[in-house]
Amino acid sequence: MALTFYWYPKCGTCQKAKKWLDGHNIDYTSIHIVEEPPTKEQMLNLMSNSDIPPKKFFNTSGKKYREQNMKEKITDASIEEMAEWLSSDGMLIKRPIVTDGQKVTVGFKEDTFTENWL
């Protein structure tokens, strides 16, 4: 099954992940995470299919995260609320997100990609 690769082309981490996927001849569909952010339902699905805490789906180093005071907002937020916020603005989402519909990785670490996608 082909992977879905949510990315932001100007993001250095996303570029490294894309280079890794291309270098290993892995079939994927790329989706521009800012132009086409995952829907609330897709975010809930990504969160439930991963072992990653929902808070880790936020781009905590991003400007939008700081501007919207997300650190305080997500402290007591439900998963539904987090999914709603993330789906409303792709710049809030930590990237890249890669999924095969079963497994999900967030960010890029070569050993994690090797473990999950090879």
pLDDT in tens, 58-80: 999 999 999 999 999 999 999 99
The per-residue pLDDT for 97 is 97
Domains identified in the chain and CATH numbers: 3-117 (3.40.30.10)
Strand 3-7, strand 28-32: pairing: parallel
Beta bridge partners, 98, equal 5, 105
By percentage, how much of the chain surpasses pLDDT 90? 97
Question: 25: left (phi > 0), else alpha (psi -120 to 50), else beta?
Answer: left
> Tens digits of per-residue pLDDT, 101-114?
999 999 999 999 99
SS3 content of the chain, % helix, strand, coil (to 5): 50, 15, 35
Report how far residue 95's alpha carbon sits from residue 5's, in angstroms, rounded to the nearest whole number.
9
Report how far residue 50's alpha carbon sits from residue 76's, in angstroms, rounded to the nearest whole number.
20
Q: How many residues are recorded in the chain?
A: 118
The per-residue pLDDT for 1 is 62
